[in-house]
Amino acid sequence: MSFEEIKFRTTDGTELHARVYPAAKPGPGPGVVICPGLKCVLSMMNLPACASALQKNDINVLLYEPRGIGSSGGSPRSDIDPPQCVADMSDALTHLMTLPTVDPTQAGLLGFSFGGTVALTAASVDPRCRFVVAAAPVTDLDFSSPAQRTRVLRKCAQDRESQVMGNAAFTLPLVNARGENAAGFGHGVNAEVYARLVKGGREIAPGHENRITLMSYYKLAMWTPWPLWKHLGTGVGGDASSGLRGALFIVPEDDTMSYPAMQRKYYEELDGGPGFYKSKLEVEGVGHEDLFTGQCLDRVVAGIVGFIQQVSSSSL
């Protein structure tokens, strides 16, 4: 199936790179924005294969690269600003809804990993969103220890002072030669795989730069989006029929980067009000980064397609 390379503008004029996969079936129909994970270009984690599979199932897809990453615009480069990520995903939804093959009343969001957290948060504050799919959403944003958190934030304070003096934002490797996050942020990365890539001087993915601004960790440390998720689906007067109609959580059973128990906890806490449809797909024997690969892909896509068809039906 075919796709088109495009650029779309955000509200501040920044151009973000995306691929549009028009649905195989002619006429306006469902559409979904896909956001990759933290510091990921759009080609990572087999997301293009997911987009193509959804396209074959008559779902339009806009898969984009976040601000400051890959071919997308934005400065400073490799900077992660979570509220800005949420705003940019809403702007991606704006573009999706203008496509002639998309029915704006059947447009939603899908995010993987950190992108799943962004998608849930965007859906909490953007009433245009009809549905949201969170695939292995990150459910804690913290460092390996309180002491490491303090060390990194002290460095962030020094970087702020440096930038006030006119210096560029300080950057560091996202992943070090041991295959670990260089700032001690998060957990569960496949260190062996990433160590081989970094030591060999190879790209993690085409167009991916193994750098991140130090201030990204400052911004991540003070972002606590989870309380917003209680607003998912409440709509006007608490009725989901006037806003978000459903949420799908996809939980990899062997996820070590976002603990499955926490993903299930946030799923169970969703209420949404009358008319809200929530669903959870548990994928056995699969880790965080394998969710859209191999034999898992068909099952995950089937779950997404069935969910979108359910929330797009007039009988819900």
Q: Please state the domain extents for the chain.
A: 4-140+224-312, 146-221
- Residue 70 tokens read as 């890959």
For 234, the 3-state DSSP assignment is: coil
| pLDDT, mean over the chain | 90
Q: What is the pLDDT at residue 237?
A: 65
> Does the pLDDT of residue 200 top 50, yes or no?
no
- Residue 310 tokens read as 């359910």
How far are the Cα atoms of 19, 244, 271 from residue 231, in angstroms, in the given order?
30, 10, 8
Measured from the Cβ of residue 150, the count of other Cβ atoms closer than 10 Å reads 11
**What is the rounded CA–CA span in Å between residue 154 and residue 277?**
44
Q: Does the global pTM surpass 0.85?
A: yes
Banded model confidence at residue 178, pLDDT cuts 50, 70, 90: confident
The partner residues of 248 in beta bridges, in order of sequence, read 133, 279
Which position has the higher pLDDT, 237 or 303? 303
Query: What is the distance of C-alpha 298 from the center of its chain?
Result: 20
pLDDT digits (tens, 9 = 90+) for 29-73: 999 999 999 999 999 889 999 999 999 999 999 999 999 999 999
Residue 89 in contact with residue 33, Cβ under 8 Å?
Answer: yes
Residue with the two structure tokens 């649905």: 23
Q: What is the pLDDT at residue 53?
A: 96
- Residue 261 tokens read as 């128990």
Residue 41 in contact with residue 173, Cβ under 8 Å?
Answer: no
Nearest to 31, CA basis, from 11, 3, 50, 58: 58
Through-space distance between the first and last CA atoms of the chain, rounded to whole angstroms? 31
Measured from the Cβ of residue 163, the count of other Cβ atoms closer than 10 Å reads 14
- Phi, psi at 277, each rounded to 5°: -115, 120
Angle (nearest 5°) at CA 169 between 144 and 165? 125
Q: For 4-140+224-312, give the CATH class.
A: alpha beta
For 122, the 3-state DSSP assignment is: helix
